[in-house]
């Protein structure tokens, strides 16, 4: 299948809703209690190989056999369960009802590991990890802001019980956290945010804000800046560090950027993305392909 074309957030959302209305279901439809969804992509989600729902859950080592249907065509691969990097080989992974399994075949990167991605949304909020649904907390620079409300209400509409609070430099616990606000307000107030500022070697997120947090560099897989985005830029990203649950960021260079990121907090826009920047209401893949020449 060919790579995905660029499109505005509004068009992306509208197309998915229209298809769902006509067909009664879509590629992102929920799987049953004994079923899983399976996605295989290449090059950090840029090219779709297969997208299946309603796959019967195999006991180990059955997942490994299923993935063997799609020969590895890149140097490496990452396997995510509900958007969280699997900590076992496919032959040992145990899948639970409703889980989303995503295998991406890709080349080497500067990041030792990419612990979490946004492209399996609404996972991990719906089914959590290891068959256990996890508590969710939306932490906001301003809990009364429109983006904070939009993110929390999106989760509630999906059937997720989500608490809302001000930012807190949280200790490791069993909670999935979504941090909402301009990066200049998140920076220095959260352990995971500090890792994003340290670069993809530390975070697995291939984007970095500058010292003023008013510009965002989108990086290639070697960690080099490929594109710099300015005012009004949003970012939706996630990371998972050892012994800690994933943390998601709905952030940006300024208030307009955070609003753009909150609008992108949707399955139709985030599908198959490792992370996503938004500039002029257009999605920008994170990471971007390496510059040629």
Q: Where are the domains of the chain?
A: 10-106, 136-286
Tokens of 207: 């984007």
Query: Looking at residue 64, what is its pLDDT?
Result: 93
Edge-to-edge strands of the sheet including 136-140?
162-166, 136-140, 176-182, 247-252, 234-239, 275-279, 282-286
Question: Does residue 123 carry a pLDDT above 80?
Answer: yes
pLDDT range class, residue 31, cuts 50, 70, 90: low
Whether the Cβ atoms of residue 190 and residue 169 lie closer than 8 Å to each other? yes
Whether the Cβ atoms of residue 107 and residue 125 lie closer than 8 Å to each other? no
79-93 confidence digits (pLDDT tens): 999 999 999 999 999
pLDDT range class, residue 172, cuts 50, 70, 90: low
Residues 6+ apart with CB under 8 A from 255: 182
Domain 136-286's class? alpha beta
Tokens of 224: 């080099």
CA distance 162 to 136: 5
Q: Which residue has the tokens 């990203």?
A: 237
Tokens of 261: 């990121």
Percent of the chain with pLDDT over 90: 80
Q: Cα separations (Å) of 135 from 1, 100, 173?
A: 37, 19, 10
Q: Cα separations (Å) of 221 from 114, 226, 246, 249, 254?
A: 11, 10, 21, 20, 26
Tokens of 250: 């709905």
Q: What is the mean pLDDT of residues 11-31?
A: 37
SS3 101: strand
SS3 39: strand
- Does the predicted model carry a pTM greater than 0.85? yes
Question: Does residue 10 carry a pLDDT above 50?
Answer: no
CA distance 145 to 126: 24
* CATH number, domain 10-106: 2.170.130
Query: Looking at residue 30, what is its pLDDT?
Result: 57
What Rg, from alpha-carbon coordinates, does the chain have? 18
pLDDT range class, residue 189, cuts 50, 70, 90: confident
Task: Estimate to the nearest angstrom the gap between the alpha carbon of 51 and the chain centroid.
Answer: 17
């Amino acid at each position: 299948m060919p790579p995905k074309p660029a499109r505005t957030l509004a068009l992306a959302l509208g197309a998915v809703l229209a298809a769902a209305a006509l067909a009664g279901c879509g590629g992102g439809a929920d799987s049953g209690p004994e079923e899983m969804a399976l996605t295989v992509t290449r090059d950090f989600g840029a090219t779709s190989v297969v997208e299946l729902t309603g796959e019967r859950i195999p006991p180990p080592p059955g997942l490994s056999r299923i993935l063997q249907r799609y020969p590895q065509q890149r140097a490496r691969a990452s396997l995510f369960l509900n958007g969280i990097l699997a900590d076992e080989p496919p032959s040992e992974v145990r899948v639970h009802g409703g889980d989303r399994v995503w295998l991406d075949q890709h080349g080497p990167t500067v990041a030792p590991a990419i612990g979490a991605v946004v492209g399996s949304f609404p996972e991990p909020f719906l089914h959590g990890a290891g068959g256990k649904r996890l508590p969710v907390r939306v932490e906001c620079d301003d809990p009364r802001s429109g983006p904070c409300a939009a993110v929390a209400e999106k989760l509630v509409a999906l059937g997720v019980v989500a608490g809302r609070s001000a930012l807190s430099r949280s200790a490791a616990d069993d909670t999935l956290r979504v941090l909402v606000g301009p990066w200049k307000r998140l920076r220095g107030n959260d352990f995971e945010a500090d890792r994003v500022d340290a670069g993809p070697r530390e975070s697995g997120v291939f984007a970095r804000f500058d010292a003023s947090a008013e510009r965002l560099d989108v990086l290639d897989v070697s960690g080099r800046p490929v594109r710099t985005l300015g005012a009004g830029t949003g970012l939706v990203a996630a990371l998972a560090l050892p012994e800690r649950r994933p943390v998601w960021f709905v952030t940006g260079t300024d208030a307009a950027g955070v609003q753009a990121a909150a609008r992108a907090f949707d399955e139709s826009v985030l599908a198959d993305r490792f992370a996503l920047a938004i500039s002029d209401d257009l999605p920008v893949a994170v990471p971007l392909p390496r510059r040629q020449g």
